[in-house]
Amino acid sequence: MPQLFKIGGYWVFFWSDEGMPIEPVHVHVSEGRPQPNSTKIWITSAGKCLKCHNKSQIPDKVLNNIMRMIELRADFIIQQWQQRFGGIFFYC
């Protein structure tokens, strides 16, 4: 799975297989190595974050900070998504 960047002890990454049809642009976040129960964050067409779920139970204050960092890197994430999966489609 492509690891995009690290924020403290949290990895921000894509899963290698996002299924067919490809889901909207999103990242997963987990503490330490990527886990199947990672938190899922949608990236909107405006470069903002929407929490899909927080299965890895990241504390709200920490998750809010991580989401702000993801928003600052939204253009990079979208570019990496397009290179990896070949197309762009947004949740909203």
Which of 92, 36, 27, 23 is CA-nearest to residue 66?
27
Q: What is the pLDDT of residues 27-68, one digit of tens each?
A: 999 998 888 889 999 999 999 999 999 999 999 999 999 999
pTM, two decimal places: 0.90
pLDDT band, residue 18 (cuts 50/70/90):
low
| Residue 49 · residue 43 · CB < 8 Å | yes
**Whether residue 21 has pLDDT greater than 70:** no
| Residue 88 · residue 81 · CB < 8 Å | yes
Dihedral class, residue 59 (left if φ above 0, else alpha if ψ from -120 to 50, else beta): beta
> Residue ranges per domain, the chain?
3-85
Residues 89 and 25: their CA atoms lie apart, in Å, by: 6
